[in-house]
Each structure stands twice: as C-alpha cells, then as structure tokens.
C-alpha cells in the first residue's frame, strides 16, 4: 500500500512537471507577437543583398527574376519562400548560413510590402 502511495506521488510530480512544461510552451506562444517579422529590418537586408538582382521596387533587374509587385509570385507561405532562399534558385545564391531564419522572415515580410508601393 505504501508503495502504491509513493508511486502515486511520483506520478503526481511528473504530471505537475508536464503541466509546467505546457504552461511554458503556452507562454512562449503568447510571446510570439513581440517577435513577429520586421519588414523594416528586412528592407535593410533587401537593399544590400537583393536589390541588385530584384530592383528597388522588386520588379526584377536581371532576366528571369520574378516581379514581386505582382501578387502571385509571393503567393506561398513564408516557410516555403524561406526554404527557397536557403537553398537558392537558378541564378540566386543559397542563403543558408548567411542569414538567420528571423532575418529571412524579415526580408520576406518586406517583399510582401513591395506590391503595395506605388510604381
């Protein structure tokens, strides 16, 4: 019987630990808005690393570059665009290891603003 009570207590502690972990994960989730992608930060990256090929307004400076002012070129989730940027594509170099995921998401957020700018 004593054995049973001890096991119960241990399970209880373990459950409490799991509960704390969930609370922590939840808190981290709630914290997200503060870490949302920052298009202004992305603009800086774009101007130094992307503009040469994609142009200041995103319409493309070299043959084959997509037009970011057309909505449909970016009609894919951020995570997919980030995968392309990490891997590179055609003439575009791979950016894996050059930028953090946060930086890539910032620059993608900026790309999404180009469509809204006056031509």
Q: Nearest CA to 73 among 118, 117, 115? A: 115
Among 6, 52, 102, 117, binds ligand HEC (CB under 6 A): 52
In angstroms, the CA 73 to CA 108 distance is 12
Among 37, 41, 55, 66, binds ligand HEC (CB under 6 A): 66
User: How many beta carbons lie within 10 A of that of residue 20, not counting itself?
Assistant: 10
In angstroms, the CA 88 to CA 98 distance is 12
Nearer to ligand HEC among residue 13 and residue 89 (C-beta): 89
Q: Does 92 bind ligand HEC (CB under 6 A)?
A: yes
Contact residues toward ligand HEC (CB under 6 A) are 45, 49-50, 52-54, 62, 64-66, 81, 84-85, 89-92, 95, 107, 111
């Amino acid at each position: 019987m004593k054995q049973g009570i001890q096991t119960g207590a241990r399970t209880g502690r373990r459950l409490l630990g799991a509960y704390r972990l969930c609370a922590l994960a939840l808190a981290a989730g709630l914290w997200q808005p503060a870490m949302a992608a920052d298009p202004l930060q992305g603009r800086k990256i774009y101007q130094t690393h992307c503009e040469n090929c994609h142009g200041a307004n995103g319409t493309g400076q070299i043959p084959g570059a997509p037009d970011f002012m057309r909505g449909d070129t970016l009609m894919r989730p951020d995570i997919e665009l980030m995968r392309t940027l990490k891997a590179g594509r055609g003439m575009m170099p791979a950016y894996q290891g050059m930028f953090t995921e946060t930086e890539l998401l910032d620059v993608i957020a900026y790309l999404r603003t180009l469509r809204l700018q006056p031509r």
